[in-house]
């Protein structure tokens, strides 16, 4: 998302609580949500913009995707297991990919916040771009947490499914230092 008013580009990775940020910024979506920095930099000179995004623990975001409406419908209709989902799912049609690296080159970003430290990171971004991105505004984040049961993401995994995610997101896990 490009916000000319605040001279920023927000790369909205699905299931990271980005809808509330987009709503607060009121920027321009280039034909839909979840565009990569790679696609945006083909259309605009990104050098004068503050570029930021949010990432999330790969094991946690995978559970969030599994329970997301798009996949929940497929899983329910097909009565497929979490293991089947991990072995066969693909990004939803409006997504640029699975890996955080599918959305941006970290060296081209000015700030990469974490879902896990959202409040602090939003305060930092707010200071940088001159608009308050109130973390308490994030209705979507609360909805994401309610979309599944109150179980912690680790409770959905066994050794096999844990390893599948570790391999699928190896580059992200290694680069950003995430642990199960």
Quote the CA–CA distance of 2 and 136 in Å, as a whole number: 23
Q: Considering the entire predicted model, what is its pTM?
A: 0.88
pLDDT in tens, 99-135: 999 999 999 999 999 999 998 999 999 999 998 887 6
Looking only at the bridges linking them, the beta strands covering 2-3 and 8-11 are: antiparallel
Q: Which phi and psi (to 5°) does residue 35 adopt?
A: -85, 150
Report the helix count and the strand count for the chain, using DSSP H and E.
Answer: 9, 4
- In the chain, the number of structural domains is 1
- Which stretches of the chain drop beneath a pLDDT of 70? 27-32, 135-149
| Structural domain harbouring 100 | 2-176
Confidence (pLDDT) at 38: 95
Whichever domain contains 39, its CATH number is: 3.40.50.300
Confidence (pLDDT) at 42: 93
């Amino acid at each position: 998302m490009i916000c000319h008013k605040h001279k920023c580009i927000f790369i909205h990775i699905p299931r990271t609580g980005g809808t509330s940020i987009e709503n607060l910024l009121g920027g321009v979506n280039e034909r839909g949500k979840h565009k990569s920095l790679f696609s945006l930099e083909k259309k605009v000179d990104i050098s004068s913009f503050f570029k930021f995004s949010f990432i999330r623990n790969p094991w946690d975001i995978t559970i969030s995707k599994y329970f997301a409406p798009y996949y929940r419908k497929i899983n329910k209709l097909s009565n497929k297991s979490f293991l089947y989902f991990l072995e066969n799912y693909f990004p939803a049609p409006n997504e640029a990919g699975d890996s955080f690296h599918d959305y941006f080159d970290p060296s081209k970003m000015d700030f990469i916040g974490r879902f896990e430290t959202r409040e602090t990171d939003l305060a930092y971004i707010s200071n940088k771009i001159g608009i308050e991105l109130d973390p308490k505004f994030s209705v979507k984040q609360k909805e994401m947490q309610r979309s599944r049961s109150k179980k912690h993401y680790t409770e959905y995994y066994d050794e096999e499914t844990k390893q599948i995610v570790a391999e699928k997101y190896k580059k992200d896990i290694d680069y950003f230092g995430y642990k199960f």
